[in-house]
Copies of this chain bind each other. A is one copy, B any other.
């Protein structure tokens, strides 16, 4: 009797899946990846397995690591499962296969995997992201293996399994059927249909770092840039304007290093772009004022600077509010 007898069964094998996540770490916004330290537990029933317990009085028998690998390579049928949204092989330091006297087989592994997901940074740094883990059987379509009853456990006893800068929102686990057109030319072929489990954890970024290290200094600098309308000397006005532009360039390059090269602009990048524009307009404004009113401030023909003193901060505040409203709220 061979180990491939599963192939002749009428009904697909039901495999229930538990995922316990110990930690989600190295969340990498630039590459849109994160590493997961967790435990998978697959459970199914195979009455042939009972024979492994026949000369034991115990309720179950445990196979660890190399012994488990030997078991997988033996006649007992233990299918391979694969992570779909993974980058490279997962590391599996420990495996346990336990066979119970009722034919239940429990396959458990601790794993470390680098997963990827598509992140939406439009609201960055006030964004939420969904960390996903998707699993399929590698060789057996939904005609042979279907997943049931997926459960996701999060390690609660160290609160920050997500890192200190993320806050758990909610989680989900569900089973879908995924159709490929790759395995067989006929799209409706049973070979093209696979059962997939999707585990999802939604988390909210804690934006304290970005507020204090990026947005606060940027706002201070933009605020300070409005001081050029309170300065009377043209030379100082111009010097301050260009020094501030150089400073915004520094923030530009910094924000460029913490996110991928996105084709769209994030909230933080809009703030920087608006900063560029306001500093540029400030320089243009003082030059226009200078051309019209001249160097000395005795009897300005048009009190442009006085208007700008209020116009610039008000328009800037309005734009920031609109930006915040339309992107974040």
Contacts and interface: CB of A to CB of B under 8 A. Distances in A.
Contacts of A56: 2, 4-5, 7-8
Interface string A238-265: 1110111111111111111000111111
A92 to B, nearest CB: 8
A273 B37 contact: no
A230 B69 CA distance: 78
A229 to B, nearest CB: 10
B87 A25 contact: yes
In this complex, the interface size class of chain A, counting residues with CB under 8 Å from chain B, is 35 or more
A221 interface: yes
Interface in A105-123: 108, 110, 112, 116, 118
Contact of A20 (B86, B88, B108, B180): B180
A307 interface: no
Interface string A15-33: 0001010110110000100
A217 B252 contact: yes
A273 B208 CA distance: 13
Nearest to A259: B209
Given A26-B31, A112-B87, A217-B252, A4 B58 contact: yes
Interface in A266-319: 269, 273, 276-277, 280, 283-284, 287, 290-291, 295
A195 B23 CA distance: 20
B242 A240 contact: yes
B236 A234 contact: yes
Nearest to A233: B235
A90 interface: yes
**Identical chains in the assembly:** 5
B80 A94 contact: yes
A18 B181 CA distance: 11
A212 B91 contact: no
A102 interface: no
Given A79-B64, A213-B269, A227-B284, A242 B245 contact: no
A60 interface: yes
A191 to B, nearest CB: 10
B242 A35 contact: no
Interface string A89-100: 111011010100
A287 B227 CA distance: 8
B116 A7 contact: no
Interface of A: 2, 4-5, 7-8, 18, 20, 22-23, 25-26, 31, 35, 37, 39, 41, 55-62, 64-67, 69-70, 72-73, 79-80, 82, 84, 86-91, 93-94, 96, 98, 108, 110, 112, 116, 118, 138-140, 153, 157-158, 160, 163-165, 178, 180-183, 206-210, 212-213, 216-217, 220-221, 223-224, 227, 230-236, 238-240, 242-256, 260-265, 269, 273, 276-277, 280, 283-284, 287, 290-291, 295
16 contacts: A2-B55, A8-B58, A64-B138, A118-B164, A153-B180, A163-B260, A165-B262, A213-B256, A216-B276, A220-B276, A227-B238, A227-B283, A233-B235, A235-B239, A240-B242, A249-B250
